[in-house]
Amino acid sequence: MMKSQPRIKGFALVIFSTMMWGVSGTVAQYLFQQRGFSPEWLVVIRLLVSGIVLLSFATLRGNKNVRKIWSSKYTIFNLICFALLGMLGVQYTYFAAIKYGNAATATILQYLYPVIITFYMTIRTKRAPSLREVIVITLTIVGTFLIITKGNVSTLSISKLALFWGVTSAFAAAFYTLQPAYLLTRFDSITVVGWGMLIGGLGFSFIQKPWICTGQWSISSILAVIFVVLFGTLIAFCCYLESLKYIKPIEVSILSSIEPLSAAVLSIFWLHVNLGFVQWIGTGCIIFGIIYLSLTKKTPEQKKGCSEISS
């Protein structure tokens, strides 16, 4: 019984963290579509506040990597690429997909990134896809088709901008997952992600000033912003990292499929987003594909490049 307690704790932590990521996407949809906030402002605030808090936490705990990461030009180059193209890229494209569509379809489309990674690793290793990978790719393509067309080739059930930003978000997520492999072999994830958030937020501040906000402030919108930053970023990320101490990464990856499901369910019951029966079938195809792909035995190259995403 005692041996099972750490595993139960690990499962609880990863389920909570992925649910918070999914819920924060729906809360962001509320801010964009009902309170008039812009994705640009929410992204810059989320990145700046989260980056400052994570790095402050690491510094207070005596983490020497916070400064050491700036000791090499090659490391600095990789860190800036990760921050601006990976961290900022995945955050902005995801929120833009929510603004022009909804949290459910944005999260589902973003979760095409494991398939993109599979294609990339196939080309990089010059290895033909396995039968399991072919099945996963087919499931995700079919699932995406059903979601965006409701099964009718002549119609598009989401806007072109929502589709564009959703697919772009999947590519950004794939880059975010693979690019920091060099950094994560030399520094802890809190340092890498903390600096990635802060640099990304500072870089985006030149486009969107953090102190300029066009949204309608109210008690509910204030609470929503706090939720996205606190629960949807800081607490979710810390719980996710903590879960890796108790259960295997592959189990964490499987359980992360709760994120698109939680975003879809909350969007329906809170924001009254209508997902038809055919779209639910498409959602099921993608989630099943994610789980099936997670059960695939990873190659050394895939393990090296596997730093998980936080939306």
Query: Is residue 11 a part of any domain in this protein?
Result: no
* Residue 246 or residue 212, greater confidence: 212
Task: Please give the tally of structural domains in the chain.
Answer: 1
- Degrees to nearest 5, angle at CA 266 with 113 and 255: 45
CA 181, CA 194: separation in Å to the nearest integer? Answer: 16
The pLDDT value recorded for residue 301 is: 43
Query: Is residue 56 a part of any domain in this protein?
Result: yes
The answer, yes or no, to whether residue 303 has pLDDT greater than 90, is no
Place of tokens 């990521």: 21
Token pair listed for 69: 């990461």
Q: In 225-246, which positions are buried (b, 16+ CB within 10 angstroms) versus exposed (e)?
A: bebbbbbbbbebbbbbbebbeb
The answer, yes or no, to whether residue 228 has pLDDT greater than 70, is yes
Query: Is residue 246 a part of any domain in this protein?
Result: yes
The whole domain housing 218 covers 17-304
The answer, yes or no, to whether residue 195 has pLDDT greater than 90, is yes
The answer, yes or no, to whether residue 263 has pLDDT greater than 80, is no
Query: Is residue 3 a part of any domain in this protein?
Result: no
The answer, yes or no, to whether residue 302 has pLDDT greater than 50, is no
The pLDDT value recorded for residue 260 is: 62
Query: Is residue 282 a part of any domain in this protein?
Result: yes
Query: Rounded mean pLDDT of the chain?
Result: 81
The answer, yes or no, to whether residue 258 has pLDDT greater than 70, is no
